[in-house]
Amino acid sequence: MRAAAFASSLAVLSLLALAMPAAAAEKTLPNEDGAHVNIGGRVFTRGEYGSPSPGTPVHSSKTEHTHQWPGVYFETRIEGDSVDLSFDDTHNIYRLYVDGQTRQTYARPGKTSITVKGLGAGAHLIRLEKLTESQSERGSFNGFSVKDGRFLAIKPRPRQIEFIGDSYTVGYGNMSGKKQCTPDELHDTTDTSQAYGPLTAKAFDADYQINAFSGRGIVRNYDGFAGDPLPALHPYILFDKKDEYKDDSWKPQIIVIGLGGNDFSTPVKPGEKWKDEAALKADYEASFVAFVKTLRAKHPQAFFLLTKYEGPTVAEEVEKVAAQLKASGETRLDTIGLDGFTLNGCDWHLDSNDHKRISEQLTGYFKTHPDLWQGK
């Protein structure tokens, strides 16, 4: 976002145009036992849940969950001593939790099935989280299966929260411990699960979506590079923009938006569509207002919290956007200032301590406004 080396990283992260047949996205998909998988984030799902064939003692999700947005996770509950995980992913890093405890990390697992044994008797909560950002690559998690056991029902959480943003929201290089990183180091030290969004959501036992893309802004991307700004990508399941995300069960009580650092972190250059910063500001304000109104139409129940960080220009512009929205009749909206960063992550980004600090600030805000969860 403020990175001197960001442009070189983007060269590695160019979008691929891969075609896929249309399919509906679902948050939960039952198998024939009535078991469920809870999916956090946006995935393109193909396949069916259920036993592979009558009499077969293996129950499997039998699916392809293809994803690109960060922060995606998959949960299931089983009764049994082992569970199988199926992957088709040469790019991403995943972390497995069993009953809330870290069990294993899988780096670029490829096309494989992995058996996790020794869980012990009884019921277990299995959770798989995607850690990395995958702008140019797609990954697929192809489901859970159990032998000599069974799936148990699992439901989405009543509380839901969405985070919309850029590299700060992604957790870009947050675990690096240094500011200068190679592209591989950036990839391997980006852990969205330790970014402020998931940390905040977990503090309230809420399901979440992290709809963020490093380098993108409201109208202008970092240093003016070509590509869709975040509002143009937000409606879609994948970055090819072929299939819109539609899920009637996704009704976040809170939507947190942090965008503007990429719009204003570098001066407008000759040849860009804005003749000067004043024109850029006007476009930013109008487009941000329109984006929130589009989200409001989809989520009439939501409360919007607009974050202010990355310098005084962004803070001033976010306040102008909030004022315009309130003047147009918006009542369920506020802004919050976030500061005190050390920026020791890759390319001078937020480090893990910065993310914890932001999460504490957001958690404090939500605790003083418990009505935002609407009784959930």
State the Cα–Cα distance between residues 32 and 269, nearest whole angstrom: 58
Kindly report, residue by residue over 124-154, the tens digit of the pLDDT: 999 999 999 999 999 999 999 998 888 998 9
Please tell me the predicted confidence (pLDDT) of residue 16: 31
Domains in the chain: ranges and CATH: 6-15+158-373 (3.40.50.1110), 37-152 (2.60.120.260)
167 is catalytic: yes
Please tell me the predicted confidence (pLDDT) of residue 62: 59
pLDDT tier at 21 (50, 70, 90 boundaries)? very low
Please tell me the predicted confidence (pLDDT) of residue 199: 98
Kindly report, residue by residue over 52-98, the tens digit of the pLDDT: 333 333 445 557 899 999 999 999 999 999 999 999 999 999 999 99
Q: Which of 134, 140, 145, 167 is catalytic?
A: 167
- Mean pLDDT across 205-220: 98
Kindly report, residue by residue over 273-300, the tens digit of the pLDDT: 999 999 999 999 999 999 999 999 999 9
Residue 203 has pLDDT above 50, yes or no: yes
Residue 330 has pLDDT above 60, yes or no: yes
Query: Considering only 18-22, 107-111, 114-118, which range has the smallest mean pLDDT?
Result: 18-22
Give all strands (DSSP E) within the chain, no chain letters: 37-40, 44-47, 58-60, 63-67, 73-79, 83-89, 93-98, 101-107, 110-116, 123-130, 139-147, 150-152, 160-165, 207-212, 254-258, 303-308, 333-337
- Mean pLDDT across 255-266: 97
Q: Which residues contact 95 (CB under 8 A, 6 or more apart)?
A: 102, 104, 105, 106, 128, 129, 131, 193
What is the dihedral sign for C-alpha 87, 90, 92, 93?
positive
Residue 25 has pLDDT above 80, yes or no: no
